[in-house]
Amino acid sequence: MRHGIVLFTSDRGITPAAAAQAAETAGFDTFYVPEHTHIPVKREAPHPRTGGAALPDDRYLRTLDPWVALATAASVTTRIRLATAVALPVESDPITLAKTIASLDHLSGGRVTIGAGFGWNVDELADHGVPGSKRRTVLREYLEAMRALWTDDEASYAGEYVSFGASWAWPKPVQSHIPVLVGAGGTERTFRWIAKSADGWLTTPSDVDIDDKVALLRRIWQEAGRSGAPEVAALSGKPDPDRIAHLASIGVTELIFGLPDREPGEVVAWLGRLAGKLGIG
């Protein structure tokens, strides 16, 4: 079982670099950050947790760019993986984003994991020219196109939403395959998408009792002819030993704990206490 930390980055509080450095020192395996380019004031999309226009945290309005945040973290760490929970790739140009991610993987020594979301905020997506009803298709094309740029000496891609002719693009990532986890509700539709186009599932706050969902994902994964087993990164609350053991037994591969929105010194101390309870470090 691996242990991750997610920092809801904003323009206040502890910096991503300081949080990642403290998390690595404490023994955690992965450092996650989120993404929102902006939040339209007037929108039709309800937030999944509030069920309406209200946001559960004002940091939604203040999130840092995830790749810049992870680059600062890369410069002060050597081991911890650098990940997103979750990024919204379809809100960027895919060729430019492929370059950014490849550069981060190159400079960090191969430590990038992409946690990608389809995007609950369809109004935000619309401002980027992405039809809400097509966001899964657009994300699939983006990932396929970026993988071509990461692996082929002369990359090209032809899709409905992404298209470019034979191109050179370096640096290539250090990793031969950058892992992609999909952060979305645990439904059969999501799991079939993962089995076709990703490497695992990142749970949402609403996915609490996940035994049956993990079993369904593993069955769909096998039916799709995928080798091994899917990664399952589960958002976690308290570090309860019995629950951790149970989650490991059903196929959860990583637990992710959210950092509190406190002063930097308090966050670092909190990380040390959590690491002690988990027996890591």
Question: What digits encode the pLDDT tens for the residues 26-35?
Answer: 999 999 999 9
Q: Is the pLDDT of residue 161 over 90?
A: yes
What is the chain's mean pLDDT, rounded? 97
Mean pLDDT, range 128-149, rounded to an integer: 98
Mean pLDDT, range 73-92, rounded to an integer: 98
Mean pLDDT, range 40-47, rounded to an integer: 94
Hey, is 44 helix, strand or coil?
coil
Write down the pTM of the prediction. Answer: 0.98
Q: How far apart are CA 96 and CA 118, in angstroms?
A: 19
Q: Which two tokens stand for residue 235?
A: 């958002």
Q: How far apart are CA 124 and CA 229, in angstroms?
A: 33
Q: How far apart are CA 19 and CA 77, in angstroms?
A: 10
Q: How far apart are CA 152 and CA 141, in angstroms?
A: 16
Distance of CA 102 to CAs 71, 105, 140, 257, Å? 12, 5, 18, 27
Q: Is the pLDDT of residue 281 over 90?
A: no
Q: Is the pLDDT of residue 23 over 90?
A: yes
Question: What digits encode the pLDDT tens for the residues 60-81?
Answer: 999 999 999 999 999 999 999 9
Phi (first) and psi of residue 70, to 5 degrees: -70, -30
Give the total residue count for the chain.
Answer: 281
